Structure 1
Amino acid sequence: MTTSAPVPASVTTGIFGAVADWSQPMVTYYDHDSGERTELSAATLGNWAAKSANFFVDELGLAPGDELRVDLPEHWQTIAILLGAWWAGAHVRLDDDTDTAAVAAVITSADRIDAYGDVDELLVASLDPFAMGVRDLPIGVTDFASAVRVHGDQYALRSPVTGPVLDGQPVGAVLAAARTAAEAEGIVAGARALSVRSWRTGADVQTNLLAPLIVGASLVTVSHADATRLDALADTERATVTLR
């Protein structure tokens, strides 16, 4: 008789629980348009996620179950924000038809500010390679990069997250879908997965972002991918799996 694995206390707990070596690259982000390459070890990504979680709880006052609309492109900062939000127990909403009147806050990019003029709590992520802040924001809009820096880089989860965490789904369902996707793609612990796939929707976040991480693999994610450069990039990054 087999028994299912216990559900982690949060999505983030499950993701970092799969880490075997905190000094090794966990996420490597490329943008072929801008030329950016940013590599984060598990320790560094964990620190950014913890800062984000502490900001959401201590400064924003986010409580478990509160909804957070995340409207951001694929970027390493987006990963840290998602992990921080889940650590804080937030219900992340990625769907475009989210009722923003019902969310505790919206976090988006500077070019999307006008889409959320009626939101009480609007945060802007810089998406800068070095996480520098955004200047000259309108009054009432928070520069997330500057605000998050002052917060601690360790986070202690108060209690297990029991409610929905991603577009209505609970922790167990989100991580189970991620593990299933990893198995289908042959991604295992210690693998290095190069991916050009999008993760803007809840389903895509599970299968294209969380899948490698939940099994202890390293993710190389490429935005605005140049198809002619992918084979060379896979060799450079020593990718064992390429997801196109």
Structure 2
Amino acid sequence: MGNTVPSLFAAVVGKDPSLPFLTFYDDATGERTELSGATLANWVAKTANLLVDGCGLGPGDVAAVRLPAHWQTAAILLGAWTAGLSVTYGQPTGAGADVEFASLSAAETGAPGPADRYVLGLAPMGLPMRGPAPAGFADYVTEVRQFGDHYPGPVGGAGTEDLVERARKLAYPGGRLLIDAVAHPDPVEWLVGPLAAGASIVLSVNSDPAKLAARAESEQATSVL
């Protein structure tokens, strides 16, 4: 198994791209979104192409990701690493980065940032924002859909070896993991850790603790974290 995050993702998805890889629940909205490995890989490729062809970025550049745990956040993180970018996650502003991805609430703070800035409404079904994007931002969903479903490469990921090492120290089991993002907000815990274990993910945000046991059973989760 590889030692970079993109190589881990490719190994897991390559086993059977049609199988569910990331199932997302938001108990605040009632959303359930299920992505196969192939579907998430398409979003990852589109994001990498957006960064490389749309923004002219590549190895040595930095993406600021100001987003909560979400399936679209997974696509952006994996896309940035695939394109060879470094990632700062959860920092208060995108200053000093070459591209920024922010939630609507983060984008509305008015903090300074790079020339290329994308906002995410995080709407169900991966829909674009209903209203206009904040000044200085473009709607990620609208923009990323213009790019190809396959990333021609070269696939990056150098510099993510430390993330893989941290993830492997978590010693997650394989199988299908139900992960409560309230308890595990760090992407190393809810995304890279399962990849390092060769596991698929059921990601629960704004979790209602009373629903987790039934969710684990319905999703055939083999472990709950």
* C-alpha distance 206-138 of structure 1, shift in aligned 2 (>3 A): closer
CA distance 1:159–1:218, shift in 2 (3 Å): closer
1:180 pairs, out of 169, 193, 207, with 169
Does structure 1 retain, via aligned residues, the 8 Å contact 2:69–2:181? Answer: no
Aligned match of 1:192: 176
Distance 2:10 2:110 in 1: 32
Contact 2:3 2:161 in 1 (8 A): yes
Answer with 1 or 2: which has the greater Rg: 1
Where do 4+ consecutive residues of structure 1 move more than 6 Å? none
In terms of mean alpha carbon deviation, does 121-130 or 38-47 score higher?
A: 121-130
Which residue in 1 is equivalent to 2:134? 138
What is the match of residue 12 of structure 2? 18
- Amino acid corresponding to residue 17 of structure 1 in structure 2: A
2:121 and 2:224 map into 1 onto residues whose CA distance is: 28
Give distance in 2, aligned partners of 1:232 and 1:159: 39
Normalization by structure 2: what TM-score? 0.91
Over aligned residue pairs, what C-alpha RMSD do you find?
Answer: 1.8
Q: Does 1:222 find its partner at 2:208?
A: no
In the comparison of the two structures, how many residue pairs are matched? Answer: 221
User: Aligned partners of 2:2 and 2:200: how far apart in 1?
Assistant: 23
TM-score w.r.t. length of structure 1? 0.84
Indicate conservation of the 8 Å contact 1:177/1:207, yes or no: no
Equivalent position to 2:100, from 93, 98, 106: 106
Unaligned runs of 5+ in 1: 163-169
- Following the alignment from structure 1 to structure 2, what is the Cα–Cα distance between the partners of residues 95 and 44? 25
Identity of aligned residues (%): 37
Could you tell me which runs of 5 or more consecutive residues in structure 2 were left unpaired when the two chains were aligned. Answer: none
